[in-house]
Amino acid sequence: MANVEEVKLNVAASVDETQRALQTLRGVADSFDEALTRLRLTAVGALHPSIMDAIAQLEQARSRLDEAQSLAANAISSADTFRSMV
């Protein structure tokens, strides 16, 4: 069984890894935003269902990415709370 210090170190390592993942997700979010902007500009005046579907799908992907970022941030907060209690 791990001692208290090992538990704290493992939680801290998990928090650090999650923070790095969040940084990566921020870059992905920026890329999605750029792609959406480009696609919307390209689609101006074109009401073809295929392009509208592409925009809707990309918007949904971006929204789910926001949700993933929020969940990860909440996980960090909970882990930090646990780490401060042990």
Residues in the chain: 86
Torsion of CA 46, 50, 54, 59, to 10 degrees: 70
Q: How far is Cα 5 from Cα 12, in angstroms, rounded to an integer?
A: 10
Return averaged pLDDT per consecutive 10 residues of the chain, 86 residues in all. 90 98 97 96 88 96 98 98 92
**Residue 2, Cα to own-chain centre: how many angstroms?**
31
Which structural domain range is residue 45 located in? 4-85
pLDDT at 86: 87
Could you give the number of structural domains in the chain?
1
